[in-house]
Amino acid sequence: MCLWLAVSTSGFYHWAIRPQSATAARGEALIARIQHFFEESDGTYGYRRIHADLAAEQTECSPELVRQLMRQISLVAC
């Protein structure tokens, strides 16, 4: 598979064992909070209200990031 992807075997294993980036860890934490607020509202909150809830608990993020993460995990408000 490494030949097909044109990457070295050592490069692949170096990539596979590297630690999670700070950005990815923050994204996972935000996704968990977004899912919490979405489920708490019975699926009625959109990205604006969820962003307001995150801001109320002093979690810094932009509304666009909340919208992007909600789209990524397929959360759609009714």
Question: What distance in Å separates the CA atoms of residue 50 and residue 18, rounded to the nearest whole number?
Answer: 32
Whole-number pLDDT of residue 33? 97
pLDDT at 64 (0 to 100):
97
Q: Write down the H helix ranges in 41-77.
A: 47-56, 63-72
In a domain, 60, yes or no: yes
Average pLDDT over residues 11-40: 95
Give 70 or 1, the one with higher predicted confidence. Answer: 70
According to the model, what pLDDT value does residue 78 have?
A: 86
Question: What pLDDT is recorded for position 2?
Answer: 87
Q: State the total domains in the chain.
A: 1
Inside any domain, residue 33: yes
Q: Are 10 and 44 in contact (CB under 8 A)?
A: no
- Could you tell me the residue range of the domain that residue 60 belongs to? 20-78
The answer to whether residue 1 scores a pLDDT higher than 90 is no
What integer is the mean pLDDT of 25-32? 97
* Contacts by residues 54-63 (CB-CB < 8 Å, ≥ 24 positions apart): 54/30, 57/33, 59/30, 59/33, 61/30
